[in-house]
């Protein structure tokens, strides 16, 4: 794993925070480590296709999950929903290099949050670009409950 890329992403995570005007949100939690990642998506239309205009994330997770989420949200801008659906955890973490076996699930959490958001924002291939916005795209900390307490040795992301 490329430690310099990891440190760069951790020291300056991109697109971190709740997106209040999002069109879709997806959340995943890992039963393995107790970490959670939430991703928000904002869509727009380009050349008659629904594309991702912006993506943001929140994470109570390890540094690898935060780094991958940061990179993924940058990578997603301008992609169609179909293209985003094909993005794998390995592709999203490419700048970090191959993840060690115990960190593979960290990237998969980000992929899971993306897929959940895509499912929420475009449940059918023919769904219109104006898919209904969920009534409440809540703050990740609200759904973490007990899990919101930082774990020893884990990075705590402070929400603004």
- Asked if 54 and 77 touch (Cβ cutoff 8 Å), the reply is yes
- Determine whether 33 is an active site residue: yes
Taking the least distance from each CB to ligand FES, the nearer of 33 and 147 is: 33
Residue 9 near ligand FES by CB under 6 A: no
* Structure-token pair, residue 48: 């008659």
Residue 68 near ligand FES by CB under 6 A: no
Residue 132 φ/ψ, nearest 5 degrees: -55, 140
Size of the site for ligand FES (CB under 6 A): 10
Single residue of 9, 28, 87, 106 touching ligand FES by CB under 6 A: 106
Of the candidate spans 47-55, 102-110, 115-123, 127-135, the one that interacts with ligand FES by CB under 6 A turns out to be 102-110
Q: Which residues contact 88 (CB under 8 A, 6 or more apart)?
A: 111
- Asked if 62 and 154 touch (Cβ cutoff 8 Å), the reply is yes
Single residue of 14, 17, 33, 80 touching ligand FES by CB under 6 A: 33
Number of helices (H) and strands (E) in the chain: give both, helices first: 6, 3
- Asked if 59 and 69 touch (Cβ cutoff 8 Å), the reply is yes
Say how far apart CA 69 and CA 95 lie, in whole Å. 12
Of the candidate spans 8-16, 74-82, 86-94, 101-109, the one that interacts with ligand FES by CB under 6 A turns out to be 101-109
Say how far apart CA 126 and CA 117 lie, in whole Å. 16
Taking the least distance from each CB to ligand FES, the nearer of 51 and 65 is: 65
Considering 89, 106, 117, 120, which one is annotated as catalytic? 106
Write out the catalytic residue numbers.
33, 106
Q: What residues line the site for ligand FES (CB under 6 A)?
A: 30, 33, 35, 61-62, 64-65, 105-106, 109
């Amino acid at each position: 794993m490329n430690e310099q890329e990891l440190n760069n992403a951790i020291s300056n995570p991109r697109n971190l925070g709740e997106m209040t005007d999002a069109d879709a949100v997806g959340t995943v939690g890992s039963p393995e480590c107790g970490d959670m990642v939430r991703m928000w998506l904002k869509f727009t239309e380009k050349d008659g296709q629904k594309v991702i205009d912006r993506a943001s994330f929140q994470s109570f997770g390890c540094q690898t999950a935060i780094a991958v989420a940061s990179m993924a949200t940058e990578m997603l801008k301008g992609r169609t929903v179909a293209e985003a659906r094909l993005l794998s955890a390995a592709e999203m973490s490419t700048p970090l290099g191959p993840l060690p076996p115990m960190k593979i699930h960290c990237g998969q959490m980000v992929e899971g949050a993306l897929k959940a958001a895509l499912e929420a924002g475009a449940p059918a291939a023919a769904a219109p670009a104006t898919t209904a916005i969920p009534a409440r795209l809540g703050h990740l900390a609200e759904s973490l409950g007990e899990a919101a307490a930082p774990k020893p040795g884990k990075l705590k992301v402070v929400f603004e």
